[in-house]
Amino acid sequence: MKLHVARMAYPVTSLGPGQRVTIWVSGCGMRCRGCITPDLWDSSAGRVVDVDRVLQRILALRMPLDGITISGGEPFEQAASLGRLLRDTRAAKPDWSTLVFSGFPYLTLRSGKTGADALLSQTDILVAEPYDRRRPGVHPLAATANQTVHYLTERGAALRNKVESDTVHRADVALGSTGEALLVGIVAEDARSRIHKALVPADIPPAAWMP
Protein backbone atom coordinates (compact mmCIF):
# COMPACT_ATOMS: atom_id res chain seq x y z
CA MET A 1 0.00 0.00 0.00
CA LYS A 2 1.13 3.55 -0.77
CA LEU A 3 0.87 6.93 0.95
CA HIS A 4 1.34 10.49 -0.27
CA VAL A 5 3.51 11.83 2.56
CA ALA A 6 4.79 15.41 2.85
CA ARG A 7 6.70 15.54 6.13
CA MET A 8 7.18 14.18 9.61
CA ALA A 9 8.17 15.93 12.85
CA TYR A 10 9.01 14.84 16.38
CA PRO A 11 8.72 15.31 19.28
CA VAL A 12 5.50 17.33 18.88
CA THR A 13 3.66 18.41 22.03
CA SER A 14 1.02 20.74 20.56
CA LEU A 15 -0.99 18.30 18.40
CA GLY A 16 -2.24 15.88 21.01
CA PRO A 17 -1.36 14.67 24.50
CA GLY A 18 2.26 14.00 25.44
CA GLN A 19 5.18 13.82 23.03
CA ARG A 20 4.15 12.63 19.59
CA VAL A 21 5.38 11.88 16.13
CA THR A 22 3.28 13.77 13.58
CA ILE A 23 2.90 12.92 9.91
CA TRP A 24 1.43 15.31 7.35
CA VAL A 25 0.00 13.69 4.24
CA SER A 26 -0.46 15.58 0.99
CA GLY A 27 -3.61 15.95 -1.05
CA CYS A 28 -6.84 17.72 -0.03
CA GLY A 29 -9.84 18.53 -2.19
CA MET A 30 -11.47 20.85 0.38
CA ARG A 31 -9.02 23.75 0.11
CA CYS A 32 -10.46 25.75 3.00
CA ARG A 33 -9.70 29.47 2.93
CA GLY A 34 -7.08 30.32 5.57
CA CYS A 35 -5.82 26.74 5.80
CA ILE A 36 -2.53 26.47 7.72
CA THR A 37 -1.06 24.07 5.13
CA PRO A 38 -2.18 25.17 1.64
CA ASP A 39 1.14 23.83 0.36
CA LEU A 40 -0.24 20.33 0.97
CA TRP A 41 -3.45 20.63 -1.04
CA ASP A 42 -1.87 19.01 -4.09
CA SER A 43 -0.90 15.36 -3.67
CA SER A 44 2.27 16.09 -5.64
CA ALA A 45 3.47 18.19 -2.69
CA GLY A 46 4.53 14.96 -1.04
CA ARG A 47 6.16 11.76 -2.11
CA VAL A 48 4.55 8.40 -2.79
CA VAL A 49 5.97 5.98 -0.24
CA ASP A 50 5.20 2.40 0.81
CA VAL A 51 3.28 2.19 4.10
CA ASP A 52 5.85 -0.30 5.39
CA ARG A 53 8.64 2.20 4.72
CA VAL A 54 6.86 4.90 6.73
CA LEU A 55 6.32 2.40 9.54
CA GLN A 56 10.00 1.51 9.60
CA ARG A 57 10.90 5.20 9.83
CA ILE A 58 8.54 5.68 12.78
CA LEU A 59 9.80 2.63 14.64
CA ALA A 60 13.41 3.73 14.13
CA LEU A 61 12.87 6.84 16.30
CA ARG A 62 14.92 6.58 19.46
CA MET A 63 13.12 8.84 21.90
CA PRO A 64 10.24 8.44 24.35
CA LEU A 65 6.96 9.12 22.52
CA ASP A 66 3.33 8.82 23.58
CA GLY A 67 1.52 8.58 20.28
CA ILE A 68 1.11 9.41 16.62
CA THR A 69 -0.84 12.27 15.06
CA ILE A 70 -1.93 12.38 11.41
CA SER A 71 -2.66 15.69 9.71
CA GLY A 72 -2.48 17.04 6.21
CA GLY A 73 -3.70 17.58 3.62
CA GLU A 74 -6.74 15.41 4.23
CA PRO A 75 -5.99 12.07 5.90
CA PHE A 76 -9.33 10.51 5.01
CA GLU A 77 -8.55 10.82 1.31
CA GLN A 78 -6.02 8.06 2.08
CA ALA A 79 -8.07 6.24 4.70
CA ALA A 80 -7.14 2.66 3.77
CA SER A 81 -3.39 3.25 3.72
CA LEU A 82 -3.39 5.32 6.91
CA GLY A 83 -5.60 2.78 8.64
CA ARG A 84 -3.02 0.14 7.84
CA LEU A 85 -0.19 2.39 9.08
CA LEU A 86 -1.92 3.09 12.40
CA ARG A 87 -2.88 -0.55 12.86
CA ASP A 88 0.71 -1.70 12.40
CA THR A 89 2.07 1.14 14.53
CA ARG A 90 -0.32 0.21 17.33
CA ALA A 91 0.78 -3.42 17.10
CA ALA A 92 4.41 -2.37 17.61
CA LYS A 93 3.66 0.44 20.09
CA PRO A 94 0.59 -0.70 22.06
CA ASP A 95 0.90 2.14 24.58
CA TRP A 96 0.68 4.86 21.92
CA SER A 97 -2.50 6.82 21.28
CA THR A 98 -3.63 7.84 17.80
CA LEU A 99 -5.06 11.23 16.80
CA VAL A 100 -6.31 12.26 13.35
CA PHE A 101 -7.31 15.68 11.99
CA SER A 102 -9.92 15.85 9.22
CA GLY A 103 -11.83 18.53 7.35
CA PHE A 104 -14.74 16.18 6.72
CA PRO A 105 -17.86 16.50 8.90
CA TYR A 106 -17.99 13.84 11.58
CA LEU A 107 -21.36 12.50 10.42
CA THR A 108 -20.00 12.12 6.89
CA LEU A 109 -17.12 10.03 8.18
CA ARG A 110 -19.46 7.88 10.27
CA SER A 111 -21.95 7.37 7.44
CA GLY A 112 -20.16 4.29 6.11
CA LYS A 113 -20.32 5.71 2.59
CA THR A 114 -16.89 7.32 2.37
CA GLY A 115 -14.50 4.43 2.98
CA ALA A 116 -13.45 6.09 6.23
CA ASP A 117 -13.91 3.06 8.47
CA ALA A 118 -10.40 1.68 7.93
CA LEU A 119 -8.93 4.82 9.48
CA LEU A 120 -11.70 5.59 11.99
CA SER A 121 -11.35 2.14 13.50
CA GLN A 122 -7.69 2.90 14.36
CA THR A 123 -8.32 6.42 15.69
CA ASP A 124 -8.54 7.21 19.40
CA ILE A 125 -9.17 10.95 19.04
CA LEU A 126 -10.66 12.62 15.95
CA VAL A 127 -10.79 16.34 15.19
CA ALA A 128 -13.38 16.87 12.44
CA GLU A 129 -15.20 19.52 10.36
CA PRO A 130 -13.80 22.00 7.80
CA TYR A 131 -11.66 24.99 8.76
CA ASP A 132 -13.74 28.19 9.07
CA ARG A 133 -11.51 31.24 9.47
CA ARG A 134 -14.53 33.38 10.53
CA ARG A 135 -14.88 31.44 13.79
CA PRO A 136 -11.71 31.43 15.95
CA GLY A 137 -11.16 28.24 17.91
CA VAL A 138 -11.45 27.94 21.69
CA HIS A 139 -10.38 24.30 22.08
CA PRO A 140 -6.71 23.25 22.28
CA LEU A 141 -7.12 20.94 19.26
CA ALA A 142 -9.71 22.88 17.23
CA ALA A 143 -8.44 25.65 14.96
CA THR A 144 -11.95 27.06 14.50
CA ALA A 145 -15.05 26.98 16.70
CA ASN A 146 -17.09 24.78 14.36
CA GLN A 147 -14.57 21.94 14.59
CA THR A 148 -15.43 19.09 16.93
CA VAL A 149 -13.26 16.73 18.97
CA HIS A 150 -14.40 13.11 19.34
CA TYR A 151 -12.99 10.56 21.78
CA LEU A 152 -13.70 7.37 19.88
CA THR A 153 -12.14 4.73 22.14
CA GLU A 154 -11.59 4.07 25.83
CA ARG A 155 -7.97 5.12 25.37
CA GLY A 156 -9.10 8.38 23.80
CA ALA A 157 -11.67 9.05 26.53
CA ALA A 158 -9.01 8.48 29.19
CA LEU A 159 -6.99 11.33 27.64
CA ARG A 160 -9.88 13.81 27.49
CA ASN A 161 -8.99 15.78 30.62
CA LYS A 162 -5.36 16.02 29.57
CA VAL A 163 -6.33 17.25 26.10
CA GLU A 164 -8.90 19.81 27.21
CA SER A 165 -6.77 21.28 29.99
CA ASP A 166 -4.01 22.19 27.53
CA THR A 167 -3.37 25.78 26.43
CA VAL A 168 -5.37 27.14 23.48
CA HIS A 169 -3.36 28.42 20.49
CA ARG A 170 -0.14 26.80 21.65
CA ALA A 171 2.66 25.94 19.25
CA ASP A 172 6.12 24.51 19.46
CA VAL A 173 9.10 24.22 17.16
CA ALA A 174 9.64 20.54 16.43
CA LEU A 175 12.49 18.70 14.77
CA GLY A 176 11.79 17.73 11.19
CA SER A 177 13.16 14.47 9.90
CA THR A 178 15.93 16.20 8.01
CA GLY A 179 16.91 18.37 10.98
CA GLU A 180 14.93 21.50 10.04
CA ALA A 181 12.85 23.48 12.54
CA LEU A 182 9.09 23.30 11.96
CA LEU A 183 6.35 25.45 13.49
CA VAL A 184 3.73 23.02 14.75
CA GLY A 185 0.46 23.71 16.53
CA ILE A 186 -3.06 25.11 16.47
CA VAL A 187 -2.21 28.80 16.08
CA ALA A 188 -4.45 31.79 15.32
CA GLU A 189 -3.93 33.12 11.79
CA ASP A 190 -2.42 36.50 12.76
CA ALA A 191 0.00 34.94 15.26
CA ARG A 192 0.93 32.26 12.74
CA SER A 193 1.93 34.90 10.20
CA ARG A 194 4.19 36.68 12.69
CA ILE A 195 5.90 33.45 13.75
CA HIS A 196 6.44 32.30 10.17
CA LYS A 197 8.22 35.56 9.37
CA ALA A 198 10.54 35.00 12.32
CA LEU A 199 11.52 31.50 11.21
CA VAL A 200 14.09 30.94 8.48
CA PRO A 201 13.12 27.75 6.61
CA ALA A 202 15.79 25.25 5.70
CA ASP A 203 16.35 24.70 1.98
CA ILE A 204 15.29 21.06 2.04
CA PRO A 205 13.00 19.42 -0.55
CA PRO A 206 9.62 18.01 0.56
CA ALA A 207 9.74 14.48 1.94
CA ALA A 208 13.54 14.49 2.03
CA TRP A 209 13.32 12.53 5.25
CA MET A 210 12.47 9.39 3.32
CA PRO A 211 15.55 7.33 2.46
pLDDT in tens, 126-151: 999 998 878 777 788 888 889 999 99
* pLDDT value at 35 more than 70: yes
pTM (two decimals): 0.84
CA–CA gap between residue 21 and residue 65 (Å, rounded): 7
Strand partners of residue 5: 25, 47
Strand partners of residue 144: 136
CA 171 to chain CA centroid, Å, is 14
Residues in CB range of 144: below 8 A, 6 or more apart: 129, 131, 132, 133, 134, 135, 136, 137
pLDDT in tens, 158-177: 999 999 987 666 666 665 55
Lowest mean pLDDT among 24-28, 65-69, 93-97, 177-181: 177-181
DSSP assignment of the chain equals -EEEEEEEEEEE-SSSSSSEEEEEE---S---TT-S-GGGSSGGGSEEEEHHHHHHHHHT--S---EEEEESS-GGGGHHHHHHHHHHHHHH-TT-EEEEE-SS-HHHHHTSSSS-HHHHTT-SEEEES---TTSEEEETTEEETT-EEEE-SHHHHHTHHHHHTSPTT-EEEEEETTS-EEEEE---HHHHHHHHHH-------TTTT--
Contact (CB, 8 A) for 17 and 173: no
Query: What angle is formed at CA 12 by the lines to CA 193 and CA 148, rounded to 5 degrees?
Result: 75
Band (pLDDT 50/70/90 cuts) for residue 188 is low
